[in-house]
Amino acid sequence: MHIHILGICGTFMGGIALLARSAGHRVTGCDADVYPPMSTQLGEQGIDLVAGYGAEQLALNPDLFVVGNAISRGNPLLEAILDRNLPYVSGPQWLAENILRGRWVLGVAGTHGKTTTTSMLAWILEEAGLNPSFLVGGVPQGFGVSARLTDSPFFVIEADEYDTAFCDKRSKFVHYQPRTTILNNLEFDHADIFVDLASIETQFHHLVRTLPGNGLIVSNAVEASLERVLAKGCWTPVEWFNRSEGWQVGAPDEAGGFSVSLAGKVLGRVRRFDLAGDHNRANAVAALAAARHAGVPVAVGLKALEGFAGIRRRLEVRGVERGVTVIDDFAHHPTAIRATLAGLRQKVGPARILAVLEPRSNTMKLGTMNEQLPGSLADADLVFCYANKLGWNATQALAPLGLRSRVFDELDVLIAAVAADAHAGDQVLIMSNGSFGGIHERLLALLAAEHQGVVDAVPSR
């Protein structure tokens, strides 16, 4: 079957493309906004991409169009598909009907940490010899791809609460029907489609209603929102983490290692852990609990976590120039920004952190989280905000930070300012859920050029 995917360069739809190709289908796709790592990944897999959404793509004559949730009415290709009554389906529905059916699905849901926790869980199952299939909203370093299809009965998936498609406004995760489910956390996000936290809780309740009685929910005990979700009705056993009678994480040692206990009994220890921050240790224990439900002994899971290398775009070091370390991170919500900065602070100690933020997500663009931003950036020594095309006043929102924050409307000027302020030993943390205009490479190049200029200016003896 020939499948043509609309919005193929989104992390989820790119994963769908890889799975469909592995299942034996011919896959093509189109998108208007193409950037790594997904564009690189698709190219490496030999999947042909078409730029834009022109109706002339009907001439490809695919057997089925798979439509991503970024595609809205008015899109010329979608309108042509509808006018001609051609077969189409949403990504989550295609996945559920063609890939997930009959498998033991392990789903990871929550506002934050889904990609990291899903990757950890897949890695644990891999190290346990279970050879899982997976679909992750990022690229795990240990796998090198965001999705793969195997003959294993286990499928690990990032269970996103964002809506399914233009024709299906339910959350994606209601299609997946997981047997093992992690509820990592839940707070207000996606202000473009949800009016308040209660409306998101309703979607999580719909997910819980699909879970089997012989399944397992691994839920974060510090989240009152998740307790409210489960209080609406739950037919599946629950194991809590971050609770004394449930799963708990011990304090980290100098190597980042930590102990794991269940109901007060220490089960073992992760002797080395490369991911910084309390939130990542909580992600790890949730993954351990879910893996145990799939039959992985805790000792095996603990050993696997010691070799977990992380995910691209999650505190990923992109390079070091002039002694300045440039780091990429996907953080795009105040809670994620706060946790990311806290984790980096734990890792680098007193070194200066220069936070460079692009408020690019739909929620951030709407200004819904403005009041939370200054507090979330408290661990940064300097803050540089790219405010191009924002519908709110970033200078005013960040005013509580005083002279520590600077706002820019031009990216070139921002990059020059960061390069000018950065000194050897500094950590430049760049946070965006998009390509940010290639800022990482441009900043590293400017730092290198300035260093070469200094060297050239020193007379030889």
What is the per-residue pLDDT across 131-148, written as a single tens digit (0 to 9) for each? Answer: 999 999 888 888 888 899
2-92, CATH topology level = Rossmann fold (3.40.50)
452 band by pLDDT with thresholds 50, 70 and 90:
low
Which stretch, 2-6, 240-244, 382-386, has highest mean pLDDT? 2-6
pLDDT at residue number 230: 97
pLDDT of residue 278: 84
Q: What is the pLDDT of residue 459?
A: 44
User: Does the domain made of 102-306 have the CATH classification 1.10.510.10?
Assistant: no
Domain ranges of the chain: 2-92, 102-306, 316-457
Asked whether residue 33 carries a pLDDT value surpassing 80, the answer given is: no
Residue 267 pLDDT exceeds 70: yes
Longest dimension (CA), the chain: 79
Question: How distant is the alpha carbon of residue 297 from its chain centre?
Answer: 27
Give the Cα separation of 272 and 302 in Å (integer). Answer: 10
Q: Pull the structure tokens for residue 267.
A: 């089960």
Cα gap 247→266, rounded to integer Å: 10
What mean pLDDT value characterizes the chain? Answer: 90
Q: Amino acid letter at 27?
A: V
Answer with the residue of higher pLDDT: 342 or 91.
Answer: 91
DSSP per residue, 18-72:
HHHHHTT-EEEEEES---TTHHHHHHHTT-EEEES--GGGGGG--SEEEE-TT--
Query: Residues 303, 305, 309, 310: what is their CA dihedral angle, to the nearest 10 degrees?
Result: 170
% of the chain beyond a pLDDT of 70: 95
Residue 170 to residues 136, 160, 343, 365, Cα–Cα distance (Å): 20, 11, 33, 23
pLDDT of residue 37: 64
List the one residue out of 45, 46, 17 whose CA is nearest residue 31.
Answer: 17
Q: Which of 19-33, 66-80, 283-297, 325-339 has the lowest mean pLDDT?
A: 325-339
Quick check: 372 pLDDT over 90? no
Q: 206-239 pLDDT, tens per residue?
A: 999 999 999 999 999 999 999 999 999 999 999 9
Q: Are the C-beta atoms of residues 117 and 157 closer than 8 Å to each other?
A: no
Compute the average pLDDT of residues 321-345. 86
- Residue 31 is which amino acid? D
Q: Give the C-alpha distances (Å, rounded to integers) separating 430 from 100, 114, 134.
A: 36, 20, 28
Q: Do domains 2-92 and 316-457 have the same CATH topology?
A: no
Model confidence at 183: pLDDT above 80: yes
First to last CA, the chain: 70
pLDDT band at 363 (very low <50, low <70, confident <90, very high): low
For residue 300, the SS3 value is helix
Going by C-alpha positions, the residue among 394, 388, 451 that lies closest to residue 419 is 451
Q: Is domain 316-457 annotated with CATH 3.90.190.20?
A: yes
Query: What are the helix (H) ranges across 294-333?
Result: 298-306
Confidence bin at 36 (pLDDT 50/70/90): low
The Cβ of residue 48 has, within 10 Å, a number of other Cβ atoms equal to: 14
Q: What pLDDT sits at residue 365?
A: 67
pLDDT tens for each residue of 63-119: 999 999 999 999 999 999 999 999 999 999 999 999 999 999 999 999 888 899 999
Cβ-defined contacts of 47-51 (< 8 Å, 24+): 47/8, 47/17, 47/18, 47/21, 49/8, 49/9
Instruction: Say if residues 116 and 314 touch (Cβ distance below 8 Å).
Output: yes
DSSP H or E run through 407:
strand 405-408
Assign 321 a pLDDT band (cuts: 50, 70, 90).
very high
The secondary element (H helix, E strand) that includes residue 122 is: helix 114-127
Lowest mean pLDDT, pick from 136-150, 181-195, 432-446: 181-195
